[in-house]
Amino acid sequence: MGGLIDRLPILLEEAEEDIYFLREGANNVEKDKNGSFSNNLANLLRFVGVAQYVINADKQAFIKALQESANIRIKIIERFDNGEPISKSYVSVIAYKHLFSALSSGDFELSIRLASLVGGRKEIETEYDHPFDIAFGYALKAMVLNSVDQEEQVMRLRAIASESENKDFICYANAFSAIQKNDSDLFMSAINEVISAHKRQSIGNGVFKGLEDEVLCVWGIGLVNLAKQRGIECVLDNHLIPSILSR
């Protein structure tokens, strides 16, 4: 983490310069016909939003950047559904990771729009998605939409997260269950597990190592916002999940 935090100001400056180039490409029909410029722009906006908050404590910049990132993701999926030659990898169920960005922005209507577009493409999921991501994606989708199958989907996530290589993510299943039960104490226990697991996954070969997630737990922020939207009381202020970013 120390390495990334030290380089963050320089990386932010470079990213803000790159955004102009990516916007130009994303607005060019020919250049962006497969969605690559839009995809890269969405990813870079997420980085910029996190960096702006961590460096400058700019909450509004964080919200605006993550909202735009999620909106771009929606447009990519809609373009695919409308028959454009968008890369299939951009519309696989792994798009659930971008759903955390929408939730972290505090825009629940945006989150519902994106959640409604995630999943439902079995052939693409078979080709591109790991079983863990499929389980996590459908569980998060069900929780955001408050759908009738949410308990079933969370059980599937819990089962696959119980496997040795996925154990750091069983805390998300615990958090989802706490939300379903409207149990604030259980949720607080789960979110503290999320913080601990996030730290472990931000070092070595962890999934967040080298990403902006090292310095801010976007997934955790999104999870807290989802819980609060569902009526959970959550009093938490950790540098990875700052209370100021909770809705």
Q: Which two tokens stand for residue 99?
A: 């759903």
CA gap 154, 222 in Å, rounded: 17
Is the predicted pLDDT of residue 236 greater than 60, yes or no? yes
The residues pairing with 241 across neighbouring beta strands, listed in sequence order, are 238
Residue 44's pLDDT is 98
Return the domain boundaries, the chain.
Answer: 2-245
Q: Which residues neighbour 157 within 8 Å (Cβ) at sequence distance 6 or greater? A: 135, 136, 138, 139, 172, 173, 176
Is the predicted pLDDT of residue 134 greater than 80, yes or no? yes
Residue 246's pLDDT is 84
CA gap 133, 119 in Å, rounded: 11
Per the prediction, the chain carries an average pLDDT of 96
The residues pairing with 238 across neighbouring beta strands, listed in sequence order, are 241
- What is the average pLDDT across 50-66? 98
pTM of the model: 0.95
The residues pairing with 25 across neighbouring beta strands, listed in sequence order, are none
- What is the average pLDDT across 23-37? 97
